[in-house]
Amino acid sequence: MAAPSPHPFDPLRPDEIARAAGIVRPHFGGQEPNFRVITLLEPPKKLMIAYLENEHQNQPIEDVPTRHARVEVVVKGRANENQLFELYVDLGNEKVTQKQHVKGKHSYIDANHMKAVEAACLADEGVQAELRSLNLPAGATPVVEPWAYATDGMNDMSTRITMCWFYLRLLDHPDANYYAYPLDVCAEVSEDLKVTKIYRLPTNPQERIHHEKRPFDRRRIHPADASEYHPELRPASRTTTKPYQVVQPEGPSFRINGNQLAWEKWSFRVGFNYREGLTLHDVRYEGRSLFYRLSLAEMFVPYGDPRAPYPRKAAFDLGNDGAGLNANNLQLGCDCLGTIKYFDAYHNTPTGEPLKMPNVVCCHEQDDGILWKHTNFRTGNAVVARSRILVLQTIITVSNYEYIFAWHFYQDASIFYEVRATGILSTAPHDINAKERVPYGTVVAPGVLAPYHQHLFSLRIDPAIDGHNNSLVIEESTPLPTNDPKVHNPFGVGYVTESRTVEEEGGFDLDFTKNRTFKLVNEKQINPITGTPVGFKLLPFYSQMLLASPESYHARRSEYAQHAVWVTRYTDNDHFPAGKYTMQSAGGDGLASVIAKRRATGVAQSVRDEDIVIWHTFGSTHNPRIEDWPVMPSEKLMVGLKPVNFFSGNPGLDVTPSTQEKNQSVLYTGESAQSATCCQSKL
Amino acid sequence: MAAPSPHPFDPLRPDEIARAAGIVRPHFGGQEPNFRVITLLEPPKKLMIAYLENEHQNQPIEDVPTRHARVEVVVKGRANENQLFELYVDLGNEKVTQKQHVKGKHSYIDANHMKAVEAACLADEGVQAELRSLNLPAGATPVVEPWAYATDGMNDMSTRITMCWFYLRLLDHPDANYYAYPLDVCAEVSEDLKVTKIYRLPTNPQERIHHEKRPFDRRRIHPADASEYHPELRPASRTTTKPYQVVQPEGPSFRINGNQLAWEKWSFRVGFNYREGLTLHDVRYEGRSLFYRLSLAEMFVPYGDPRAPYPRKAAFDLGNDGAGLNANNLQLGCDCLGTIKYFDAYHNTPTGEPLKMPNVVCCHEQDDGILWKHTNFRTGNAVVARSRILVLQTIITVSNYEYIFAWHFYQDASIFYEVRATGILSTAPHDINAKERVPYGTVVAPGVLAPYHQHLFSLRIDPAIDGHNNSLVIEESTPLPTNDPKVHNPFGVGYVTESRTVEEEGGFDLDFTKNRTFKLVNEKQINPITGTPVGFKLLPFYSQMLLASPESYHARRSEYAQHAVWVTRYTDNDHFPAGKYTMQSAGGDGLASVIAKRRATGVAQSVRDEDIVIWHTFGSTHNPRIEDWPVMPSEKLMVGLKPVNFFSGNPGLDVTPSTQEKNQSVLYTGESAQSATCCQSKL
């Protein structure tokens, strides 16, 4: 049986990946390219608008976009240098439509290269000598953690440099937490796998340069239960948590057809790519268009320790590492609870073969407490509807850290995007004798500093609120003046909302003190009852923007981290708020630069009643607590999108009121019943 | 069998309520008092500190505080005026220890009085004439909604005035949503049940005074499904939501002994009173003291419509109505899911008899997704622990609105307080012909204005972080300067935290742009690893403070709504951030005044290393959406308390990793499996 044709939004299928590689391969003069990326080149929106209109009206689709791939390869140049090429491949017509030698940029982190760096570093005689000078405990194993080099202006960035941080696996167990023993050795490894520098790290707030060669301080060795998370290395776990199971006797409420998902009144398509991971397309409620595309577009994790070489710790976890590539293989009964649908994804091997990534997304329902309730106090009659939500979750591991990303769909037509940060802090060595408190880190174990850092996310929201031409409205709640004779406010209690519609591309800040609200509206669609444009509002996550100086490389590389809300004109394949190539980037490719460049052309980029994109920057200034050690309890960040005068009433009003017959709760009559008949005792 | 002695924190038991009434009754010269309140007078903290220390060390308790009641009664004075008395009653020694005639204040809303007002209003000939002038549809029933009169300076406040708002029950069903038909009639009723004023409401933005007598506009009549929420009045509900059940085969993980609750490593006592509703006492983790008492202390809901008489709509839902008194009788399978323990409460009748309020608090567990996870990328081994939370929930109905209050306890030693606002908007009539958009309300149905308003909560946090003397620290994350030769910040990326410890009582504002963090610390208890004082931090809810002018009665009455975080010195029975008597209050009794008065005594109220109380003001500026109509989908507000360098590591690290064996999830292989073998079809 033939597989059904892919939908234009579907990720490339394995056969398409292989086909793309086959089409690209002959374009490099017999050299076998290192295939870094073979991913869907998403179809032009112009074509898709017509496509989706026909699709949803069950009309024949005349102009089905041809499947295209975007391919990144690295090949060797004449001087054996790495050359990065980006190619667009027309899979239908089996041809390369665009081939660009991308100069001065690097593709994302190459795991094979990193492994080679690690091996080369450990094998280096200088490194070995340095490690010997540490006089490490017998049986302990040094571990090299290679990091992409965050630009600090101290090196030529035209070739890749890898920072090698050293840790110690003190216990002889493959899952021993080596982050508990950061060593004060550092090495730098070149593109051609040469160790170019070896030095000692500062371990004291006073130390501004690499310090002298001290041996490993045995007083740092501490009990396993303070730093280990793996159950085999820990005392017995608590047994007080009794089993809790979710039973869905009639199965889940969702329906799935390939990558299309329908649940309650929602429908959308699930996408996935190596970089953003989970993406959502053509999000509709009751068939009405809401969002063309939703995705996490970037994440930047700069560290705040000013001492060299720590300013080189600043990771673009999407641009450099890839949320898709690093997605976990989710396990039944562990990562989700209830009835679970898993989605697989495909990436490519360096030789261009499809590579299956199983269970990268899980989909399930959750009970979310009460959706709405009212008790008529005159009759005592209560009506209560419980809230069911649909969750699409993906979890990524980026070296030490984990991020849990989940889209939550609600029956009241709202969407929430939840980020949970967990995993292990990236640690640095700290002088156990230091008397002075480190002002940019927390000591979480003897000799272990957890440096302050930020997590800055960019959520890309491509709205299609009842159509593709939308506007961004900024509304504030403002007291009426009390001393203006033209304004009626005799008791001083009146307040109004004041709105302005954003006319040009730009970045904006949050202000809860004014109840500042960002609305995505369709100015051409007026709600017949409220008399106002239909819209959705952003429920932002309030967080500090980038702390690094605007002149710093951190700031120049992560322009989106200047403001919380950005609006730009839509252009195809524009998914990169910090630039397409973030690896060792020098900056100037981000949202602010793109907007400034467009503005400089003299062509005003109107964003009013146009096809626009909203980018929400949010995150956390993560000054670690010791409670984040050795594995962080999930730190939750939540962003929402809610209808605002879009419908004609509560979209969840028709949810069936809750009954015990369906919900089968159990009345607890345990110790409580006993306690009335026996003497009070201490628990 | 004798009932066990109550714990000092336990609410008054029925026998104690009756006993208190009996002790109080003879103190009014034979007049039978109207018992408004018979509640626990909580024991002096001084005694309880010693008590709890002994209790937790399993030592004999020598000085058990005598049970006391606080009683409010209303009796008639010589001129038949209401006189409010507050009495303290020593239940052990059966005597009144304090009796105060509270002059110039009113007790909270008397439901019986309100019913009498409603009847008197409807029976009034003038009102009847006004209603006839409306020419209402045949079969429709006018409904009077009496509201406490929010002070606006237009009347003497020494007697109670009730505002009667009129609605229409268009459908002949007791649960018809009359808020869908607000009438433009208003009446005022005096203490002695006389209708003192009848007038028409403004219905047009231009109208500043009562308008002419227009009949009810039939064009306002609209289909039931747009405004009704009761299932008997609505089309069939959706059937797409399949059953979802929580099964706990070994029962819940909590243990309950009377009002003491132990769950995982938490322990605390459940309290309840007529005003605050659910209170928590002696909150501990692993036996270590965290909070002496947690409660919602006040809620203010001022409306923003400047037109008279709407400034009189401003409700203190705790001080005037009572979160305890208005608590719902929660139903199995409706308000909670899983294995549920319910707590009852007791109030008193006007004649001083105990009045049982069943099921006012429910307690149950929830799965909360992933608590922590790490995958070792070198071995591929993942360890994941799911998060279980304990929820204590209470739901109140205050006329049109519902509030769902829930304390969430986490295995990582954090606590979250969730508020969900639901129920029905309080509506006002609107001229269906009005062309001008109302700038302080949303039209949610024909002729129905949902006015802008605010919900301002005060969460009272009485910390006992490793002891009773605590301090409030305000920490900010600040970039290091780039141009100071004394500061090492060569790459411009360094940042530090800067802290100040609050010395005196006062109010403070939030500032996420500085990552401003409020920490409750014990300066005498230094974390041996981090070297910093042990503490908990507040995760505030970012929201706009009161919009009304500082000179307005709204502002003077709700002083706590000026700032987001207040710190005061602890004093016994100080649970009233807007004053003890909010009913028709004139202001000047709130947090700011109390602090100013204490400061004016010249005795500086140091709050450093003292027994302090923190008050967090948060809420929402609720500018209604049509999606909030006719019943609001829950609007969530969340406040958190998290340990910060209190423990020696992640307190949830010993939670047993998740397994499918325990969690019994189900793999979904439904339509997805089919979709690979059949043609793509539209969902």
Compute the nearest-CA separation of A71 from chain B (Å): 26
Peptide bond into B146 cis (omega under 30): no
- pLDDT tens profile A533-544: 999 999 999 999
C-alpha neighbours within 13 Å on the C-beta side of residue A466:
19
CB contact under 8 A, A337 and B243: no
Element (H, E) at A602: none
CA distance readout (Å), B638 to A358, A637, B47, B407, B459: 36, 12, 33, 10, 11
Strand partners, B178: none
Give chain B positions within 8 Å (CB) of A247.
244-247
* Out of B174, B306, B542, closest to residue A491 by CB: B306
What separation in angstroms does the CA of A606 have from each of A459, A560, A578, B204? 22, 19, 22, 36
pLDDT at res. B213: 86
Nearest-by-Cβ selection for B244 from A311, A367, A514: A367
- Give the CATH fold of the B266-325+395-644 domain: Beta-galactosidase; Chain A, domain 5 (2.70.98)
Element (H, E) at A411: none
- Are B630 and A643 within 8 A, CB to CB? no
CA distances from B351 to B34, B37, B69, B75, B181 (A): 6, 11, 16, 12, 37
Q: How confident is the model at residue B209 (pLDDT cuts 50, 70, 90)?
A: low
Please give, rounded to a whole number of angstroms, the shortest distance from the CA of B530 to a CA of chain A.
5
What confidence category does residue B48 fall into, taking pLDDT thresholds of 50, 70 and 90?
very high
Please indicate whether, in this complex, the C-beta atoms of A303 and B493 are within 8 angstroms of each other.
Answer: yes
Q: How far is A40 from chain B (nearest CA, A)?
A: 20
Question: Rounded to an integer, what is the distance from CA B166 to the centroid of its chain?
Answer: 27
Name chain A contacts of B1, Cβ cutoff 8 Å.
677
B51, B108, B303, B401: which is the annotated catalytic residue? Answer: B401
Which of 212-251 (A) contact B at CB < 8 A? 226-227, 229-231, 234-235, 237-251
Contact A365 B244 (CB under 8 A): yes
> Could you give the angle at which helices B111-123 and B125-133 cross, rounded to 10 degrees?
60
Query: Is the confidence metric ipTM above 0.90 for this complex?
Result: yes
Q: Is A496 in Cβ contact with B440 (below 8 Å)? A: yes
Residues 122-151 of A with CB under 8 A from B: none
Nearest to B667 among A258, A332, A365 (CB): A332
Which fold does the domain A14-101 belong to in CATH? Nuclear Transport Factor 2; Chain: A, (3.10.450)
pTM over 0.80: yes
Best of A430, A495, A520 to mutate (most B CBs within 10 Å, chain B): A495
pLDDT per residue over A286-338, tens digit each?
999 999 999 999 999 999 999 999 999 999 999 999 999 999 999 999 999 99
> How far are the Cα atoms of A291, A409, B335 from residue A365, in angstroms, in the given order?
21, 9, 18
Query: Where are the extended beta strands (E) located within B138-194?
Result: 141-148, 162-169, 182-189
Residue A625 sits at the chain B interface (C-beta within 8 Å): yes
pLDDT at A674: 36
Architecture of domain B111-226: Roll (3.10)
Instruction: Find, among A537, A534, A533, A604, the residue nearest to A569 by Cα.
Output: A604
Q: Please tell me if residue A424 touches chain B, with a CB cutoff of 8 Å.
A: yes
d(CA A303, CA A315): 9
pLDDT digits (tens, 9 = 90+) for A121-163: 999 999 999 999 999 999 999 999 999 999 999 999 999 999 9
pLDDT value at B668 more than 70: yes
Ranking A574-588, B431-445, B532-546 by mean pLDDT, the lowest is B431-445
Which of B480, B551, B642 minimises the CB distance to A482?
Answer: B551
Contact A552 B404 (CB under 8 A): no
Residues B70-86 have pLDDT tens digits of: 999 999 999 999 999 99
Burial of B538 (0-12, 13-18, 19+ CB in 10 A): buried
Each residue's pLDDT tens digit, B307-332: 999 999 999 999 999 999 999 999 99
Q: Is B55 on the interface with A (CB under 8 A)?
A: yes
Report which secondary-structure segment, H or E, holds A116.
Answer: helix A111-123
Put simply, the answer to whether B653 touches A642 (Cβ < 8 Å) is no
pLDDT tens digits, one per residue of A215-274: 999 999 999 999 999 999 999 999 999 999 999 999 999 999 999 999 999 999 999 999
Chain B positions in Cβ-Cβ contact with residue A439 (cut-off 8 Å): 496-497
Res. B208: pLDDT tops 50: yes
Give yes or no: B401 in active site: yes
More confident residue, B595 or B206: B595
Average pLDDT on B14-28 reads 98
Q: Which of B277, B283, B316 is nearest to B300 (CA)?
A: B316
Say how many residues make up chain A: 683
Quote the minimal CA–CA distance from A197 to chain B in Å: 20
Shortest distance, CA B679 to any CA of chain A (angstroms) = 6
User: Where do the domains of chain B lie?
Assistant: 14-101, 111-226, 266-325+395-644
Residue A43 CA: distances (Å) to CA of A7, A89, A467, B7: 10, 12, 18, 69
| B10, B317, B335, B431: the active-site residue | B317
Cα nearest neighbour of A544 on chain B? B513
In this predicted model, which residue has the larger pLDDT, B439 or B683?
A: B439
Q: Which helix (H) or strand (E) holds A17?
A: helix A14-24
Chain B residue with minimal CA distance to A668?
B341
Q: Please compute the mean of the pLDDT values over residues B670-676 and round it to a whole number.
A: 45
Catalytic residues of A: 317, 401
Is B374 in contact with A424 (Cβ distance < 8 A)? yes
Q: Does A57 touch chain B (CB under 8 A)?
A: no
Q: Is A128 helix (H, G, I), strand (E, B) or coil?
A: helix
Q: Quick check: do A111-226 and A266-325+395-644 share a fold? A: no
The strand pair at B182-189 and B162-169 is best described as antiparallel
Residue A378 sits at the chain B interface (C-beta within 8 Å): yes
Query: B592 vs chain A: nearest CA distance in angstroms?
Result: 19
* Among the listed residues B613, B272, B321, B637, the one whose alpha carbon sits nearest the alpha carbon of residue B456: B637
Count CA atoms within 13 Å of residue A546 on its CB side.
28
Judge: A247–B251 Cβ closer than 8 Å, yes or no: no
Interface touch B414/A530, C-beta < 8 Å: no
Q: Is B676 exposed, middle or buried (0-12, 13-18, 19+ CB in 10 A)?
A: exposed
Cα nearest neighbour of B305 on chain A: A494
> Is A302 within 8 Å of chain B by CB?
yes
Q: Which helix (H) or strand (E) holds A443?
A: strand A441-445
**Two tokens at A394?**
């993906």
Which amino acid, A284?
R
Chain B contact for A155, CB < 8 A? Answer: no
Inter-residue contact B370 to B299 (CB < 8 Å): no
B508-535 pLDDT, tens digit per residue, is: 999 999 999 999 999 999 999 999 999 9
Residues in chain B within 8 Å Cβ distance of A340: 665-668
Looking at the complex, report in whole angstroms how far the Cα of residue A355 sits from the nearest Cα belonging to chain B.
Answer: 17
Q: What pLDDT was estimated at residue B4?
A: 75
Token pair for residue B404? 């769902």
C-beta atoms of A443 and B531 within 8 A: yes
Beta-carbon contacts of residue B12 (< 8 Å; ≥ 6 apart)? B20, B38, B39, B40, B67, B69, B346
Cis omega before residue B358 (within 30°)? no
Which stretches of chain A score pLDDT less than 50? 1, 672-683
Most A CBs within 10 Å, among B56, B241, B493, to test the A interface: B493
Q: Output phi, psi for A360, to 5 deg.
A: -80, -15
Q: Find the closest chain B residue to A207 by CA distance.
A: B488
DSSP string, B513-564: GGT-EEEEEEEEEE-TTT-SEEEEEEEPPP-----S-TTSHHHHH-GGGG-S
Identity (one letter) of the amino acid at A604?
A
Give me the residues paired with residue B388 across strands.
B367
Whether residues B337 and A420 touch (CB distance < 8 A) is answered with no
Region of A287 (left: φ > 0; alpha: ψ -120 to 50; beta: rest) is left
Query: Distance (Å) from the C-alpha of residue A234 to the closest C-alpha of chain B?
Result: 8
User: Which B positions 650-679 lie with beta carbon below 8 A of chain A?
Assistant: 650-668, 670-672, 675-679
- Sign of CA pseudo-dihedral A580, A424, B530, A138: negative
Task: Report the C-alpha gap between B449 and B429 in whole angstroms.
Answer: 6
Does the distance separating the beta carbons of B627 and A644 come in below 8 Å?
Answer: yes
Nearest CA in chain A to B396: A375
